[in-house]
Amino acid sequence: MSKIVMNARATNGADDSIKLSGGEKSVTFSGTWDGATAQLSYAPGASSVFVDLTSGAFTADETKALFLGSGRLKATLSSAGTTAVNGYVD
């Protein structure tokens, strides 16, 4: 079942982080971009310190496979224009 990491976000900022079990994850972003960037950040284990993932930048509809340990994941939208971006993790 997919977890929502970004829900029709139209302004700069982040939605709530989601908890992940470890392993390979399929991350998909889609929507109306208008120059926006969605950046994934990850906090391992029980840490509350999020670090940007180097392979976690999205600027257009795309799916990426990422291998992560257990922890938390969040997505931050920047440079939002007329934007509505969704992000899902499987």
Q: How many domains does the chain have?
A: 1
| Residue 3 predicted with pLDDT over 80 | yes
Instruction: Report whether pLDDT(17) > 80.
Output: yes
Mean pLDDT confidence for 49-67: 96
For the chain, give the mean pLDDT: 96
How far apart (Å, rounded) are the C-alpha atoms in residues 33 and 51? Answer: 23
Per-residue confidence at 1, pLDDT binned at 50, 70, 90? confident
Cα 45 to chain centroid distance, Å, stands at 17
Phi/psi region, residue 64 (left: phi>0; alpha: psi -120 to 50; beta: rest), is beta
Q: In the chain, pLDDT over 90 holds for what percent of residues?
A: 99
Q: Which domain holds residue 20?
A: 3-89
pLDDT at 7 over 90: yes
> Which DSSP symbol is given to 62?
E
CATH number of residue 52's parent domain? 2.60.120
Burial code (b: 16+ CB inside 10 Å, e: under 16) for 30-53 equals bbebeebbbbbbbbeeeeeebeeb
Q: What pTM was computed for the model?
A: 0.92
